[in-house]
Amino acid sequence: EAEAALFVDAEKGVADAEEALAGARDIIAEWVSEDQRAREGMRSLFSSKGIMRSKVITGKEEEGIKYKDYYEWEEPVLKAPSHRVLAIRRGESEGFLVLRITVPEDEAIAILEALFVKGINQASLQVKSAVQDGYKRLLSSSMEAEIRLAVKKRADEEAIRVFVENLRQLLLLPPLGRKNVLAIDPGFRTGCKV
């Protein structure tokens, strides 16, 4: 508090030591959300332990009945099949569902505190508070958006692979099933061949 008192300046909008500490916590929270090690740790956590949850938007139950399977649905990010991810995202884009990707908050904060909180004193308590704020306010939503894009990309690639395989099987089918087919090769120069 004595150190924070040095930054009190009414002209700059810092009325007391508590406002100075709040400003310092905001700056630390920004640092936490932009730190590459922190982002990599969160990316790994969201990828491995992320849970996809979808809920119906209140009042849209009747209109979005085709998405009723996903009104109260949750599944780990790693195990969500592409068709389900794409269906939920379609329901979200049509305005019937809300999709969230979450992780255990205590694990996320523990990873960040291990990176940023050093020692046990009043200053480290301020850093701990800033780390929690940085995760809740900035980093969690940023990581959720990043993982949503990665899951969408993975689902799109899987859907394309399945489509290609189905089309390949369809194109390799005999034209008339088990019927015998007589083909004529139009040979304009040497004559037709059967």
Q: At which residue do the structure tokens 């939503």 appear? A: 141
Residues 6+ positions from 17 with CB-CB distance below 8 Å: 1, 4, 5, 8
Check: CB of residue 35 under 8 Å from CB of residue 111: no
Residues 6+ positions from 67 with CB-CB distance below 8 Å: 56, 87, 88, 91, 96, 97
Distance CA 130, CA 9 (A): 22
Q: Other CB atoms closer than 10 Å to residue 145's CB: what's the count?
A: 11
pLDDT in tens, 72-112: 999 999 999 999 999 999 999 999 999 999 999 999 999 99
Question: What is the mean pLDDT, run by run of 10 residues, along the chain of 194 residues?
Answer: 67 72 87 94 94 93 91 93 93 94 94 92 89 93 94 95 94 83 84 86
pLDDT at residue 123, as a whole number:
85
Distance CA 76, CA 84 (A): 12
Helix (H, G, I), strand (E, B) or coil at 34: helix
pLDDT at residue 2, as a whole number:
67
Model pTM? Answer: 0.76
**Consecutive H or E run containing 51:** strand 51-56
Q: Kindly provide the b/e burial profile for residues 97-115, where b requires at least 16 CB atoms within 10 angstroms of the residue's own CB.
A: bebebbbeeeebbebbbee
Distance CA 117, CA 110 (A): 10
CA angle centred on 139, ends 136 and 142, rounded to 5°? 120
* Dihedral angle over CA of 171, 176, 182, 186, nearest 10: -40
Residues 6+ positions from 125 with CB-CB distance below 8 Å: none
